[in-house]
Chain A
C-alpha cells in the first residue's frame, strides 16, 4: 500500500469532513427545529477525528517515529485533539452550540495544514539527535492535548460571551463553590407565575407531587449561558492539569538531556505565560466582584495566548521548539 498517497488522500478527506461538520452545526443553529443536523454534525466530527488519527497513524508507520515533530504533523495532531475535546465537551454539555464554535477552528487548522503549508513542509523528515528520546512522545502529546482542551474551553468562553452579551451574569462553578445557590429573585418570579407547578422532571416525578397547596421546592435548572460557562470552565480545568504535566515533562526532559530544567527559551516562556493566564482565569472565578463576564474575557484572551505559544514562537525564531515556518 502506498502510504504517501494514502496520506495525501486522508488529509484532504479530513478537511472535507470537518468542513461538512461545520456547515451541519451552523445550519443546526440557524434551524433549531431540524434536530437531525447537530447529530449529523457530531457524526462528522467523529469521522473527522478518525480520519486524522488514520493520517497520523500512516505517518508513524511511514516515518518510523512519533508523528508530532514538524508543523504539518503537529497541526494535524492539534486537529485530532480539538475534535476529541469537542466530543468530550459536547457529551458533557449536551449542547449543539459547542460544535458551532469548535468545528470551524478544527476545519481551519486542517485547511491550513492541507492547503496553505508548502509541500516541502508536509513531508516527513528524520529527527535531530536532541529529539531522539521517549520524552518526546510524553511531552509533545500532552502539550498538544492541553492546547486542544484549552482552545475548546476558550472557544466556549467566547460562545458564552456572545450568548450573554449585554447581560449581567453571576457565574456558577468555582473551586470555592460560589455557585449552587438559588437565584432568589428568579425564584420569586417563578413562584408567582406557577404556584402549583410540578417538578421539572419527566417520568416518575408525578407520584411525588401531591401537595399542590403549598409552594413546592423544585430544582432550578441551569440556563444555556450557565451550561456554556460551566463546560468552558471544566474544559479549561481539564486543559490546565495537562498543560502543567506537559510543561513539567518538558522541564524534566531538558534537565535530563541538557542539565537545565528551565532556560527561559521563548517557547518555554510562552508556555509559562499561558499557564499564568489560565491560572489567573481560575482565580478570577473565585474572586468576589469579578464573577460574571470578566473571567470569560480572560479565557477568551487565553485563546490568543495559546496560539502565540503554539505558532508565534515558530515565526519568532529557531531552536529545538521551532517547527519551522514558510515566509
Chain B
C-alpha cells in the first residue's frame, strides 16, 4: 500500500472541526440564549423562595421528608441539589459560564456580521428591488436632489451616485447590542476575578483600640496578597447621633490608618454610605455595639468593665456584673441598650434598682456608683475586591450599550429611472415612527415637486 499524502486528522483537527461545526452554531443559537436567560431566571427564583444559607435543622424542620412539599421537595433533595445555596452551586456557576460562552459566540457569529452587512450597504439599481419593501412608492415629477435635501433635514447620512441614492441613520443601533454583550462579558470576568482574589472580613472594635484585619470570613483561593499585613487601624472614637425622638440618625467612626511604626498615614471619619479606602481595602461602617461601661465606686479611680451582648430576641442589650463588696458576695448587674448614656442597674435578685445617666450617681448596696461613660464599639465590614475596576467598566459600557440599542437603524433607498423616482425604506426597530417619517418625507418631496411646477408655470 502506498503511503497516503494526506495527513492523518489529528485529535486537534477533530476538536477544531467539532468546535466549528457543532459547538459554535449551538452556542450561537438564539433559542439556546433564550433558554439560558429563562433558566437562569428560573433558578434564581428558587433561591428567593427557598431560604438560603440556613442550618441543617432549619431545613429538616421546614422541609420534612414525609409529607414532602409538592411531593418531592424534602430537605434531602434541597441539600443534595444545593438549593440551600443556589447562587454558589457548581451548576449555577456552570450555567453562567455557558451563558458567557453563548454571548461570545453570538457576538462573533451574528453581531459582527450583521454590523458588517449594515455598513456594506448597496444602492438599489432595479425598480423591482423596491417591491419587496413594505414602505415604498413611485413618484413622478420629482428629483433626487429634493429627496436628498429632505433626508438631510431628517439627519440622514445621504450617499448619491448618479440616479441612485441611499440614506441611513442610527447605525449606533447596530453597534449597541455588541457593546451590551461585550460589557456583560466584562462584568462576568470582573465577578470571577473578585471571587478568586477578594476577601471579606468583619471586626468589632471598641472605641480607642487598634486592630489588624484578622477576622476574615470569606476569601477567594488567591486572596492572600490582598490581606493587609503592614498596616493597622485605630478607632479613635465611635459615636452615634440620635434624633430628638431617640431614633438612630447616623453612626460614625473616626479611624486612623497606622503604619508598622504606629504612625498615622491616613485618617477619616466614616459613616454609612461613606467608607474609608486604603490600598485597595475598604472599611465600611456596618454595625455597632456597647463595648464597656466606665464607672466609679465611691471615690475609686475610673473602672472600665467590658460588656457582653445578651442572647435574646427583640431589642439588643449589653450587660456586665459589678461587685459591690470586696469579697464579691454582693454585686449589681448593669445593662445598656444604646449609647445614649443611660444604664439600668439590677440587683442579684433581678429587680430593677435604679437607672443612672452619664455623670450621675446612684446609691446601691451602700455604695455610691457613678456612671462615667458608656463606651461603644464599631462594627466594621472590610473588603477588598480587585475585580471592581472590570465590573465598573462593564457597568459603564452596559449602560452605554443599552441606550445605544434603543436607536432604530433606518435606511432609505431611491432610484430615478425613466422619469419615475422609486423610493423605499425600512428600519429595524421603530416601525411606527419610521412609517410616519417616510410618509411625511414622500409628502414633502411631492410638495417640493408641486411648488417647482407652479414656479415653472408662472415663469412661462
Interfacial residues, chain A to chain B (CB-CB below 8 A): 92-93, 126, 129-130, 132-133, 135, 172-177, 179-184, 187, 199, 201-205, 207-211, 216-222, 226-227, 230-231, 233-234, 237-238, 240-241, 244-245, 248, 251-252, 255-262, 264, 266, 269-270, 272-273, 276-277, 279-280, 283-284, 286-288, 290, 313, 316
Contacts and interface: CB of A to CB of B under 8 A. Distances in A.
A222 B432 CA distance: 7
A240 B406 CA distance: 9
B243 A217 contact: no
Interface string B411-440: 000000000101011111111110100110
Interface of B: 30-31, 33-34, 37-38, 40-41, 44-45, 47-48, 52, 87, 114, 127, 130-142, 173-174, 177, 191, 200, 243, 247-251, 271-273, 275, 282, 284, 286, 381-383, 385, 388, 391-392, 395, 398-399, 402-403, 405-406, 409, 420, 422, 424-433, 435, 438-439, 442-443, 446-447, 449-450, 453
Nearest to A264: B87
Given A219-B439, A244-B398, A264-B47, A179 B405 contact: no
B406 A130 contact: no
Given A205-B443, A207-B449, A220-B135, 20 more contacts: A129-B248, A132-B250, A175-B174, A179-B428, A180-B134, A180-B427, A180-B428, A182-B133, A199-B442, A208-B449, A234-B432, A237-B406, A237-B429, A241-B405, A258-B286, A259-B284, A269-B47, A276-B41, A280-B34, A283-B30
Contact of B45 (A172, A199, A273): A273
Contacts, number: 219
B388 A255 contact: yes
Contact of B134 (A220, A284, A290): A220
Nearest to A182: B134
A173 B243 CA distance: 55
Contacts of A261: 388, 391
Residue of A126, A130, A258, A288 contacting most chain B CB atoms (<10 Å): A258
A162 to B, nearest CB: 19
Contacts of A245: 399, 402
B392 A181 contact: no
B430 to A, nearest CB: 6
11 contacts: A177-B428, A181-B133, A181-B134, A184-B132, A217-B136, A220-B135, A222-B435, A230-B431, A255-B388, A269-B47, A287-B34
B137 A219 contact: yes
B134 A130 contact: no
A226 B431 contact: yes
A248 B399 contact: yes
B288 to A, nearest CB: 11
Contact of A208 (B140, B243, B432): B140
Given A182-B133, A259-B383, A207 B141 contact: yes
A133 B285 CA distance: 14
A256 B270 CA distance: 12
B151 to A, nearest CB: 16
B429 A276 contact: no
Contact of A227 (B38, B173, B282, B432): B432
Contacts of A203: 443
A197 B432 CA distance: 23
Contacts of B426: 177, 179-181
B209 to A, nearest CB: 22
Contacts of A130: 272-273
Contacts of B247: 126
A234 B430 CA distance: 7
Given A182-B134, A258-B286, A175 B429 contact: yes
A124 to B, nearest CB: 14
Contacts of A133: 273
A320 B398 CA distance: 26
B31 A272 contact: no
A325 to B, nearest CB: 16
A135 B248 CA distance: 20
B136 A244 contact: no
A183 to B, nearest CB: 7
Given A129-B251, A269-B47, A277-B38, A180 B133 contact: yes
A182 B131 contact: yes
B429 A174 contact: yes
